[in-house]
Amino acid sequence: MRTLISGLAIMLAAPALAMTADDINTAQYTDGAIPNGQSAITVKLQVLLDQAGISPGVIDGYSGGMSESALRGFEAREGLEVDGVLDPEVWAALGGSNGGAILQSYTLTQEDLSNLSAEIPDNVAEKAKMEMLGFTRVTEALAERFHMDEDFLKLLNPDAAFAEGDTITVTDTGPDLEGAGARIEIRKSEQRAVVFDAEGNMLTNYPVAIGSKETPSPEGSLEVTAVAIDPTYSYRPSVNFEADGVKEELTLPPGPNGPVGSVWIDLSKPTYGLHGTSAPAKLFSASSHGCVRFTNWDVKELAHMVSKGVVVDFVE
C-alpha cells in the first residue's frame, strides 16, 4: 500500500530552530516520507497519535524509532497495513486534515511554581533523606504535564520566563484514554506495551524500555498484583542491585524523579513491575534492570485501566 519515495510533498514552514506554533498548526501532509530530524509535520503527527490513544512517547518533533513504532501500533489497531510509514490513508485515519487543535495556550499559576523539589543528589543515600523526588524545574514539570520534551517546550516558547502569569504554547494531547484493560502484551523486540480489552480489542499501545541481556525482563505470563500511585521505593541491594556503594536498605521518597517514577504496577514475579521513569526521552536508548519502564504520563493512564489479576504476557 505504501512506497517510500525520495520526493516530499509535505508543506513545511520554518526550519526547526525557528519553529513556531503557526508552523505546526498549518503543517500538512500529502504524500511521501516525513523529513529526517525535527520538523513541524512530525510534531503534528506525534500529537495526533497521542490524541488517538497511541503513545508516541515524548513529543519532540523528531522522526525516529519511537514515532515509527507508534505508527505501527496505530495501523494495527485501525486494521491498516502495518509498516510504520506515514501515507495518505494513515493521515486521513488520524484526522490530520480535519483542522483539530494541535497546540494550546496555558497560563502558569503559583501552583506550577510552588510544587518543585530541591536539586536531587546523585547518591542514593542522599536521595533517601529528601521528602520528595519531584520536578526541580518548572519547565520539566510542564513538559511532563503536556507530554513534551523539555527542550522542545523551550523551543516553542523562546521568550518565556516561565513565571507566574506567563502564557505559553504547549501541545494539546487531549484527555486520558478510558477503558478496562484485561491483558497487556510486553513486546520486547518492538519495545511496546499493548493493552487489550476482554474481547481482545487493542485499546492502546505505549513505548517502553525493557531489561538488558545482563538483567533481562521476565518471560511468559504474569499477573498484576497491585497498583501504587506515587510510590516510595525500597532500595534493597542484597535483593535487587547495589548503587553508589551503599549496602544498607533504604526507603526513597515518592516523586516523578524517583527510581520508579510516579506509578508502580506490581507483578506476580517478586521485585518486577511496570513503572515510570525520570528520563522519558531515553526509553528507546536505555535498558532497565528487568522491569518495564514507561513515561510517567503513560503509566499513570495505564494504572487507571488495570487492576489486580490483569494478565501481563512477555513476548519476544
Q: In what order do the strands lie in the sheet with 292-293?
A: 202-207, 192-196, 183-187, 311-315, 220-229, 263-267, 273-275, 292-293
pLDDT over 90 at 68, yes or no: yes
Q: Where in the chain is the domain with CATH 2.40.440.10?
A: 183-315
Please indicate, yes or no, whether the overall pTM of this predicted structure exceeds 0.85: yes
Cell numbers at 204, concatenated? 492502546
Question: For the residues of 153-220, what is the DSSP string, one character each?
Answer: HHHH-TT----TT-EEEEE---SPP-----EEEEETTTTEEEEE-TTS-EEEEEE-B-B-SSSPPP-E
* Per-residue pLDDT tens over the stretch 40-60: 999 999 999 999 999 999 999
Plot region of 245 (φ>0 → left; ψ -120 to 50 → alpha; else → beta) = left
Q: Encode pLDDT of 236-252 as tens digits.
A: 988 777 787 888 999 99
Closest CA to 218 of 265, 271, 259, 262: 271
- How many beta carbons lie within 10 A of that of residue 297, not counting itself? 25
Please report the pLDDT score of residue 4 as a whole number.
33
Fold assignment, 10-94: Muramoyl-pentapeptide Carboxypeptidase; domain 1 (1.10.101)
Q: Are 187 and 181 in contact (CB under 8 A)?
A: no
Mean of the per-residue pLDDT values of the chain: 92
pLDDT tens digit sequence for 25-39:
999 999 999 999 999
Q: State the span(s) of the chain assigned CATH 1.10.101.10.
A: 10-94
Assess contact for 59 and 152: CB atoms under 8 A.
yes
Rounded average pLDDT over 259-268: 97
- The confidence score (pLDDT) of residue 11 equals 38
For 189-211, what is the mean pLDDT? 97
CATH fold of the domain at 183-315: L,D-transpeptidase catalytic domain-like (2.40.440)
8 Å CB contact between 153 and 142: yes
